[in-house]
Amino acid sequence: MVVVTKAAEVPATRCLRCRRALTAAASISAGYGPGCRARIRAAALPTSSAKFTAAQITRARELLADGGLIPTNHAGVYQSVSSDGGTTYLTHRAGCTCPAGIRGNGWTCYHRAAAGILRATGKAA
């Protein structure tokens, strides 16, 4: 019997931050190796500036923990998954294609906060 799985159901076998191979089951399910997870947690602390609310920083951390910020081939640009999981947006620390990012007028989104946190770790895609 052959079982066919969708590509979205197959967990990442490479770290979403540094692209190294992941071997531990916990790292594969998280999408990040233990070193990268530690760097992301440490970088999340200084990012909580007046630019982002505490709720946005919390949602950004959740997005990173869920592996919902995926590097693209362009430097500093990521695909971010929406909170309902049905839509993806292009995100850079300076802008996002989500509704809050498009609205402008001082609005910021947690996708940008997550991109800023990832960039602060020193490994921007």
Tell me the pLDDT tens digit for each residue of 64-115.
888 888 888 888 888 998 888 888 899 987 888 988 888 865 567 888 888 8
The model's pTM is 0.64
The amino acid that residue 52 corresponds to is F
The C-alpha atoms of residue 18 and residue 79 are separated, in whole angstroms, by 16
pLDDT digits (tens, 9 = 90+) for 39-69: 777 765 554 455 788 888 888 888 888 888 8
- Give the residue with greater pLDDT, 88 vs 124: 88
- DSSP string for 24-51: SHHHHHHTS-HHHHHHHHHHHTTT-STT
Two structure tokens written together for 121 = 């770790």
Tokens 């191979």 sit on residue? 21
Query: What SS3 class is residue 84?
Result: coil
Tokens 């430097």 sit on residue? 75
Cα 20 to chain center, whole Å?
16
The C-alpha atoms of residue 11 and residue 101 are separated, in whole angstroms, by 29
